[in-house]
């Protein structure tokens, strides 16, 4: 049987905390930043949690 692999892109985008919660970075922060306000860009800096309803449990 072949070696099972896990998604490297997912492991780079998300981090799991000790309690099992999943951290993510916010979208819309990579380009077109001139038209966005400073307040909006500052809010996008912070790391947030993935919603419980979006996590797929097995």
- Band (58; pLDDT cuts 50, 70, 90): low
Q: Which residues pair with 47 in a beta bridge?
A: 25
pLDDT score, position 4? 78
- Band (56; pLDDT cuts 50, 70, 90): confident
Instruction: Report the percentage of the chain scoring pLDDT > 70.
Output: 97
The number of domains in the chain is: 1
Of 12, 6, 39, 7, the closest CA to residue 25 belongs to 12
SS3 16: strand
Q: Which domain holds residue 45?
A: 13-24+39-51
In-domain check, residue 31 = no
The label of the residue with tokens 């809010």 reads: 43
Per the prediction, the chain carries an average pLDDT of: 91
In-domain check, residue 44 = yes
SS3 track for 18-57: CCCCEEEECCCCCCCCCCCCHHHHHHHHCEEECCHHHCCC
């Amino acid at each position: 049987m072949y070696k099972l692999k896990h998604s490297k892109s997912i492991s780079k985008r998300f981090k799991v905390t000790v309690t099992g919660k999943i951290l993510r970075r916010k979208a819309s922060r990579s380009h077109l930043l001139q038209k966005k306000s400073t307040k909006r860009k500052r809010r996008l800096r912070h790391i947030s949690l993935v919603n419980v309803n979006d996590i797929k449990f097995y």
